[in-house]
Amino acid sequence: MSEMTAIPLENSAPPHPLKEFWKYFSENKGAVVGLYIIVIAIFLAVFADYIAPHSPFDQYRDAILQPPVWMDGGSSKFLLGTDAVGRDILSRLIHGARLSLFVGVIVVTLSLAAGIIFGVTSGYFGGVYEILIMRLMDIILALPSLLLALAIVAILGPSLQNAILSIAVVVLPHYVRLTRASVLSEKNKDYVTASRVCGSGPFRMMFAVLLPNCMAPLIVQATLGFSTAILDAAALGFLGMGAQPPTPEWGAMLANALQFVQSAWWVVTFPGLAILITVLAFNLAGDGLRDALDPKMKR
């Protein structure tokens, strides 16, 4: 008996949610690596002006297609070599990180905000409004994302802004469906009924009572949404339908690299590697988040 009373009281209190979250998240090594890469990418993007050794637009006419530093003919002035007009590839990649993360942030913010509004209202009100919204989302889903994005860009004209807008539209259905599904599963729970009995109005019900309990899948989807946004923006840039030259966007950098495949591999390799690493980091972190936030997955 005496042993039982010796158990300290603090142990019975549940751990802080953030602490608990980190415990589960850090179990997944890949997710932690992904998170580190994201932090580094954010750091590079924010301080690009100070970190990049050169301006991303300066053309060094005496150093055209110079190979990276470790190869014959490379110089420490251009660590990853130069492109066809003598611009430093490393500097362009660092500035490209800023652009790619910017695209990710804007796309995710736009589609998340619109997706939450459409999803919560259609789940809450139901009826004809819900059918209309969901059918519209079905149509968007029926089209391959890149094709629809291309169609929107075809209407609006190729530019980075229009690429962002079109990607936001293309990924919207995922957020709408996810939010609606969570709202539907939460809607009939006791705490919601209790809040209704207390006299909460529709606005309060939707955004203060229901929404916070639907956030977990949305956070995961938003993280994964970053990778989709970055990948699609790069694809549009590559096809000449996104960021226009001389913008140091990773996809656009690859667009005219096609003709140097045979002569200068570094022009082709590094921008793609940057895309792959960033996208992979967000996917890893997103997977880890899903494991940490989804109670069903907790071991």
State the residues that interact with another protein by CB under 8 A: 30, 135-136, 138-139, 142-148, 150-151, 153-155, 157, 227, 231, 234-235, 238-241, 251, 254, 257-258, 261-262, 265, 268-269, 271-273, 275-276, 279-280, 283-284, 287
Which of helix, strand or coil describes residue 86?
A: coil
CB of 96 to another protein, least distance (A): 13
Q: CB of residue 228 vs another protein: minimum separation in angstroms?
A: 10
Does residue 156 contact residue 242 with C-beta atoms inside 8 Å?
no
Distances (CA, A) of 216 to 21, 162, 203, 205, 291: 12, 30, 21, 18, 11
The nearest distance, CB 180 to another protein, in angstroms, is 18
> Considering beta carbons, is residue 106 or 267 the nearer one to another protein?
267
Please tell me the number of Cα atoms within 13 Å of 181 on its side-chain side: 9
The SS3 of residue 294 is coil
Q: Which is nearer to another protein, 209 or 237 (CB)?
A: 237
DSSP state of 11: G
Name the residue among 176, 205, 187, 183 with its Cα closest to residue 113. 176
Closest to another protein by CB, 4 vs 142, is: 142
Output 91 or 145, the one with its CB closest to another protein.
145
Instruction: Output the smallest distance, CB 153 to another protein, in A.
Output: 8
Cβ proximity to another protein: between 74 and 242 the closer is: 242
Beta bridge partners of 82: 88
Q: Which of 113, 85, 94, 88 is nearest to 51 (CA)?
A: 94
Helix (H) or strand (E) segment spanning residue 69: none
Q: CB 251 → another protein: shortest distance, Å?
A: 7
**Is the Cβ of residue 145 or residue 247 nearer to another protein in the bound state?**
145
CA distance 240 to 31: 33
Q: Which amino acid is at 168?
A: A
Using CA atoms, how far apart are residues 97 and 13, in angstroms rounded to an integer? Answer: 43
Please report how close the Cβ of residue 129 comes to another protein at its closest, in angstroms. Answer: 16
* Whole-angstrom distance, CA of residue 281 vs CA of residue 284: 5
Whose Cβ is closer to another protein: residue 119's or residue 271's?
Answer: 271
Asked whether the beta carbons of 295 and 216 are under 8 A apart, the reply is no
Cβ proximity to another protein, 58 vs 138, nearer residue: 138
* Partners of residue 88 on adjacent β-strands: 82
Least distance (Å) between residue 260 CB and another protein: 10
- Closest approach, Cβ 130 to another protein, in A, equals 14
